[in-house]
Chains A and B, each alone.
Chain A
C-alpha cells in the first residue's frame, strides 16, 4: 500500500487484510512490552492543519508502539498560519526525512494533492480531509463492529448482511463518506438518516438507503446505529431551526435507545454532544462502543502505518 487516502478505492481483500493485521496489533496491547520494533528509525510526521487532539494522539500512540519517531506539526500558530503553502510545508518535511505523513486538512482532497504532487516521497495517510474522507475512522469502526459480532473469530471475516444506520450531518461528514464505501465493500447495508438539509443534494451514486425518519429507522431494528456529531456552527446556518428540534427528531434519546434490539451496537466517532445527538444513557450503555472505538483506533492506525511504511516503497 503506497498511500491511504480514501476507502473508496479500497478492495475487500485489502480491507480485510488491514483489519486482520489490526487484530495482531491489538494483541500487542495485551503483552508485557506493548511495543514493536517494526518502524525503528522511521519518522512519522503528524501534519495537522486542523485541531484534533483525539486523532493526533491516536496516530502518535500507533506510531510510537511501532517504534517510529514522531514529529507533531500543528499548523496553528506556525508558519502555515502565516501563509506558508502546503507545497512549502511538504518540501520542508521531505527535507527532514519524513517516511510517513499523517495529514489532517480542512480542504477536501489535500492529502490526494500531496500524494500526487511529487513534493514529498513519503507514504501519506489521510487523517480527515474537509468533508471528503476519514479512512482510518471508518476502518476502526468496521474493526469495532467486526469484533463485537465475531469476537476472537473476527480474522478473515467481512460484515456481510450487517445493517448499519448512520444518523446526522451526512452532508459535512467525512466519517459518513468513508464508512459508506468501506462498510458496503465489506458487505454491510448502509442507511443514512438525516434532516434533508444535512444530506448531499445528489446521492444517486451512493450505495445507501436514505431516510428522514429516525423512528422508522429504529423500528427496522438495525444491527448498528452510528450517531454523527452535530457541529454548533450548523445551527447558525439555517440547516435546522435549533438544537431542541434537532434532538427531538434526530437524537438518540432514552426512548429511542430503549426501542433498539438488545444486541444492537451504538457507535459515535466522538467527541459527543451528550443530550443533543445522543443521550448519556445510550452513550454509557453496554451497547455503546465509544471507548472501544478509541482503543481500536490505535490498532487500526498501527496496521495502516505498518502497511504503508514497512515494505520497499518502490514495490508497493
Chain B
C-alpha cells in the first residue's frame, strides 16, 4: 500500500529550504544557472529559480533551463528507444555555478550522464546537485549537495513522486513490494 511521505506543503517547504541553501553556499545569486533534468527536474528547477527570485528580488540574472541526458545514458542498448526531451541551456555556462536539479536520486547514473552532457556545453566553475528525494542505493560515487528528503528504501519498494505541472496532483509516496515507478524511469 502506498504511504504518503511528503504532501504538497512539505514539498514547498523543502524547495524553499533548498533555495536558501543554494544561495547560502553560493554566497548570493551571482552566476547561478539552475538546470533541471527532464521531466520533473525541470519543474523543480523552475520553482527553485522562482523562489530565489522572491528571496533576493535584486537577483535578476539567475538563469534556469533544462538538460536532457538521454543521449548520454549508458543503458541505451538495454531498453526501448527513448524519446529525448529538450535541452535549453540559457547562455554560456563557462565560469558559472550550475545547480543540477532532479526529482529522485537513486543509482546516480542519470547524474553521471548529466555531468557528461554538461561538459559538452561548456566549463562551469562549480557544479552542484539538488534533489527532492534521495532514496539511497547509489551505484556510482555521486552525492547530492541539497536534499529535500532522505528516504531510506529497499530496492523492491517504489517511490512515487507527483508534481502539479506534470501529474495534476502533488505528493511523494512509497509503495511496498517490487516494480518500478509510474513512468518507467530507473532513477527513483
Contact present between A and B (CB < 8 A): yes
| B81 x A310 contact (CB < 8 A) | yes
- Of B20-28, B56-64, B71-79, B140-148, the one contacting chain A is B71-79
Q: Tell me the total A-B contact number using a CB cutoff of 8 A.
A: 51
- B120: chain A residues at CB < 8 Å are 31-33, 35-36
Total interface residues on B, using CB and 8 Å? 19
| B87 x A38 contact (CB < 8 A) | no
Contact with B along A274-316 (1 / 0, CB 8 A): 0000000000000000000000000000000011001110011
| A310 x B72 contact (CB < 8 A) | no
| A315 x B76 contact (CB < 8 A) | no
Q: Is A97 an interface residue (CB 8 A)?
A: no
| B72 x A38 contact (CB < 8 A) | yes
Total interface residues on A, using CB and 8 Å? 21
Q: Return A13 CB to nearest CB of chain B, in Å.
A: 11
* Choice from B81, B83, B116, B119 contacting A316 with Cβ under 8 Å: B81
Q: Is A24 an interface residue (CB 8 A)?
A: yes
Docked pose: A24 CA to B66 CA in angstroms: 12
| A37 x B71 contact (CB < 8 A) | yes
Q: Return B80 CB to nearest CB of chain A, in Å.
A: 5
* Choice from B76, B86, B119, B121 contacting A310 with Cβ under 8 Å: B76
Q: Is A130 an interface residue (CB 8 A)?
A: no
Q: Return A125 CB to nearest CB of chain B, in Å.
A: 15
- A66: chain B residues at CB < 8 Å are 71
With A33-B120, A38-B71 as contacts: A312 and B80 at CB distance below 8 Å: yes
| B86 x A31 contact (CB < 8 A) | no
| A307 x B81 contact (CB < 8 A) | yes
Q: Is B134 an interface residue (CB 8 A)?
A: no
* Choice from B71, B72, B79, B84 contacting A315 with Cβ under 8 Å: B79
| B72 x A1 contact (CB < 8 A) | no
| B86 x A24 contact (CB < 8 A) | yes
Q: Which of A1-56 contact B (CB under 8 A)?
A: 1, 17, 21, 24, 27, 31-33, 35-38
The 4 A-B residue pairs with the shortest CB-CB distance, nearest first, are A311-B81, A33-B120, A38-B71, A36-B71
